[in-house]
Every structure is written in structure tokens, then in C-alpha cells.
Chain A
Amino acid sequence: MRAGFTALLALCLGVVLAFLAIPIVALFTEVPLGDVPSLLGDPAVRDALAVTARTNAIANGAILLVGTPAAYLVATRRFPGRALVITLIELPLVLPPAVAGIGLLAAFGAGGLLGGAFVLPFTEWAVVLAVVFVASPFYLRQAISAFESVDPTLHDAARTLGASPARTFARIALPLAASGLVAGWVLAFARGIGEFGATIVFAGNVRGETSTLTLTIYEQLEASFDVALSIGILLVVLSAVVLLSYKLLSWRRSSSTSPTSFARSSSAPA
């Protein structure tokens, strides 16, 4: 009976692994790997690569620059409506990307809520906005918990040593939360590179302007399946690197010493 149950569990795990691995394996077997570099040399792919790199660089820069201080505020202060703020930050995580896209269109579109001042849809800036919208919650959530896990007495200690709140943030909170911040950023980065739904609704698919790698996969399905597959391989490799660095970071973080767990040695002079 017991051996049978374990076998059943193993069988289920086998099914899960096979199901998850098959599409990845198929990506690599359906196109001759030697052809991948030349396929990626396709002008459409080069344009998509440039758009993706540019838009994500700007989006990630904005997420880090504005998101970090915002997360620090939420993590270190208690204020009325804090739970609501956190819920609002987390909302895009569960929002269907197409809804995010239509929302952005309603807000920044020509006849939209803020649409009068500038024309955003179907430009590169629309891609940036879409990426920021869907990816920033991944960073913010992780950053809040990273700042929360910094021992508040270290903050107090810095203040008694004459450090202003800004200096305390820069010298104490930021370095101690750094590995958590990077882990959050890795997640946001991966989400941003993979962004599709909100972008296609809000930014459309204009080559060299808003056509990112994921949008190009969709576009190339009919034009050249091999090009689509090659982009797929590129993104799988990128995702694997991202996942691996995230694992490495969280492993380093859990094995490195936390602020309070000092060595229990007692080599005090007798």
C-alpha cells in the first residue's frame, strides 16, 4: 500500500514535469540550433530587440528610481490607509493584462482622462507605460518586504549617531535591503520583458516603434515560424538566466546573517 502511494505521487510528479518541459524542449528541437543566430539577424527581430531593450531600460529605471523611495515610505511608516495603498499596489498583479491595456488607453488615449496633453498610444512611450504598469508591483511588493525586514533599531541607532533620515536611508536601509531589492527587480524585469497583453492593446504593434520581442513572436507566426521559434529560444535563455540569478540571490540572502542573529560565541575576556 505505502509503496503504491509513493509510486502514485511519483507518477503525478512525472506527468507535471513532462507537461511543463515538453514545450521548452520542442522550442529547441523544432528549429536547427545552428540556424538560430542567422534567424535572429532578421531585421524585424533586430528592430524588436532594440524596442524591447530601450523601453525596458526606461521602464526599469523609472521603477527603481520612483519605486524604491515609495516602498521605503510604505515599509517604515504607519499611516491611515496604508493597507489600502498596499492593495492598490498589488492590484495590477491580478489584473488581466488586456484590462490593464484598455485602462491605460482610457487614461492616456486621445479622448481619455489625461489624453488631451500628449499623444501616447502607439508610440514607444506607450510600451514603457504598459511595462511600468504591469511590472512595477513585482518590484514594489518585494521592496516593501525587504525594507520591512531591516531591524528598526538600526534605523534608530543611525539617528542617535547624528544621521539625518535621508542619510539613514542611504547608508543603512538601502544596503541592508539591497539583496531583496535586486530580487524584486529581477522579477519585475522578467515580467517586463514578457509583457504582451497590455502592450498590444495600448501601444499596438508598430514595427520599430512598439513591436517588442513578444509581439514579434505573434506577428511572425504567419510570416516565418522559424523566426518566431528563434525569438522563443532567446527569451527562454533570458528567462532561465533571470530565474537562476533570482534563486542565487534568495539563497545568498537566506544564508547570509540577518542583523539580529549574531554568533553565539562567548570569547569575552575572562
Chain B
Amino acid sequence: MWFDSARRIDRAPDRRSVGLVFQEYALFPHLTVAANVAFGGASQARVGELLERFRIGHLAREKPTRLSGGERQRVAVARALGRDPQVLLLDEPLSALDAHTRAAVREELADILAAQRIPTLMVTHDFLDASTLADRVGVIRDGRLHQIGRPEELTAHPADEFVASLTGGNLLHGEAEGTRVTLDDGTVIEVAEPARGRVGVAVYPWEIAVTSRPPAAGNVLAGTVGAITPDRGRTRVRVGPLVAEVGTADGLERGARAYASFAPGSARVIR
């Protein structure tokens, strides 16, 4: 695609069989939607078929400036597919959108990509984008691949602290001795698997319960309640070093003492 192995040279961009969807979509503002999609050389019939498939047939004669974020994205994907590329590249396809539009467009893109039978590579800074849209996620930082796997594998077994925090986990540090870890503040917790020496422990917010009285069992961290943030029907509560995601924050008050608890199985050891 990029590299012509027969001739051992890099191909010029216009000779690569790569469909690229740009960050801000880079639609040609002086051309209609239909002309944008046809730019790569697709036939009239093929353009019509793409427009129908992406439900933008009624916009064929519109200029891109008049479209919404979601519509522009569909035009950009349709245009990239117009050349029948061997691979589709998406460069931060959702970063140009505001938070309100983003969720809807993300799901729409997931549907679109699921329907295309073409290898797709997407770049994003958002783990939610990656986990919604991708079958496999590779975490790259400073040019180095940290971990690659299915989104749920990354959450279940983060390879290092960067992956743990990217996937939304809380990070604790301490000294491990078997399945017991003495955290830096002196609290002792039970962890999922035995380890030895200095370790990190990742705990996800949705696996933490918050109570105003000490719970009977599990790992317990006592602390002062910090920010309480409602988030899409759930509530995120900070207790000491941890952020918990709970169904309801009734009875919790900022500044009051509370107990964050989680099962030993939720405490993932990171070496």
C-alpha cells in the first residue's frame, strides 16, 4: 500500500490504496457532497450507492459548510471509501466534535465501521472512543507500544501504570508481600495475585463502593469526601486517593469522612 515491494520504493500518496479520514474531515468546501465523494474517481452509480448507504443522499447537492458534524463525518468516510481502498485510516475522527454531538456520532461511526468489511486503523486519545470502535487497541506512548489487545483485556490486565490510568483506573502504590500490599499510607490491602516488592495497584471506579460507615469486609480505604460529580446517571465521588463511581451519592457530603471499599479481586497488581 505504502511500499511497493516489487520496486522497493515508497509510493507517492496519490498511488497508495489508503482511505484517509482527516481529523477535521478536510472536505472540499467549494464542492458539493456528491462531488466530494466522487473526487477519488468513483462512478456516478458508486457515489449514489455510497450516499444512500451513509444516509446522506438528500444532502448530495449541499456544500459541506452547511452540514452538521455527524453528516460531515459520514461524507468524509464515504469519500475515503469511494476509491475502494485496501485499508481505512481514521485520524482522531471524533476530536472535532463538541461533547454533545460526540456520543451520537461515535455510535454512528461504530455502526458504519461494523458494516464495512475493510481493515481500519484509528488514532485517538480517548479510551472510550477506542473501546467503542475498535476490536483491538494498541496503546502507544512516546512512540513505544505499551500494550495491545481487546479493550476488555486492557481493562482487565493493564500492562503498566500508563495503560491503567488511560483505561480509567485509580493507581495506588505500595510494598507487596504475597497477596498483601502495604500501601504508602500504611493501609494493608489484599490483592488478586501474589507479588513481591514495590508494586502499583489499579482499581477501577466502578468496582469501588463508598459508605459512610466502615464496611464489614473487603479492602477499605478511609478518607475525606472530595468532589462529587454527577456523570450520565452515575455519580463520581472522590474519597481520599480514589475516585469511585456509584449509583447514588445519598448520605455523602463533601468534607465528611467516608470509606471506599473494593474486593481483593478488583485490586490488579501492576509491576
Contact = CB atoms under 8 A, between A and B. Distances in A.
Given A267-B68, A270-B104, A161 B82 contact: yes
Given A154-B28, A162-B83, A269 B40 contact: no
B28 to A, nearest CB: 6
Nearest to A160: B20
Nearest to A167: B14
A87 interface: no
Interface in A227-270: 257-270
Contacts of B82: 161
Interface stretch (B59-67, B125-133, B155-163, B165-173): B59-67
Interface string B5-29: 0000000111110111011101111
Interface residues of B, number: 39
B104 A268 contact: yes
A266 B100 contact: yes
A263 B67 CA distance: 7
B26 A262 contact: no
B22 A159 contact: no
A158 interface: yes
Interface string B91-135: 000000110110011001000000000000000000000000000
Interface string A169-181: 0011001100000
Contacts of A161: 14, 39-41, 79-80, 82-83
Given A161-B40, A270-B104, A263 B16 contact: no
A162 B66 contact: no
B101 A162 contact: no
A164 interface: yes
Given A156-B22, A175-B30, A268 B14 contact: no
Nearest to B19: A160
B69 interface: yes
B36 to A, nearest CB: 9
Contact of B39 (A163, A260, A264): A163
A154 B23 CA distance: 11
B101 A266 contact: yes
B30 A176 contact: yes
B70 interface: yes
A153 interface: yes
B238 interface: no
Contacts of A258: 29
B268 interface: no
Interface string B27-49: 11110000000011100000000
A49 B97 CA distance: 58
A172 B28 contact: yes
Nearest to B64: A262
A157 interface: yes
B71 interface: yes
B26 A157 contact: yes
Contacts of B29: 154, 176, 257-259
Contacts of A164: 14
B22 A153 contact: yes
B72 interface: yes
Interface in A48-98: none
Nearest to A259: B29
Nearest to B63: A257
A175 B32 CA distance: 13
A151 interface: yes
B13 A159 contact: yes
Contacts of A266: 68-70, 97-98, 100-101
B101 A160 contact: no
A154 B64 contact: no
Nearest to A257: B65
B66 A160 contact: no
A227 B80 CA distance: 64
Given A156-B26, A157-B28, A160-B19, A268 B79 contact: no
Contacts of B69: 262, 266, 268
A149 B41 CA distance: 26
A269 B104 contact: yes
B105 A268 contact: yes
A160 B18 contact: yes
Given A162-B15, A266-B69, 8 more contacts: A160-B13, A160-B19, A161-B83, A257-B65, A261-B65, A262-B65, A264-B98, A270-B104
9 contacts: A153-B24, A157-B26, A157-B27, A159-B13, A161-B39, A161-B80, A257-B65, A258-B29, A268-B105
Give me the 6 closest cross-chain CB pairs, A-B, nearest first.
A268-B70, A161-B40, A157-B26, A159-B13, A266-B101, A267-B68
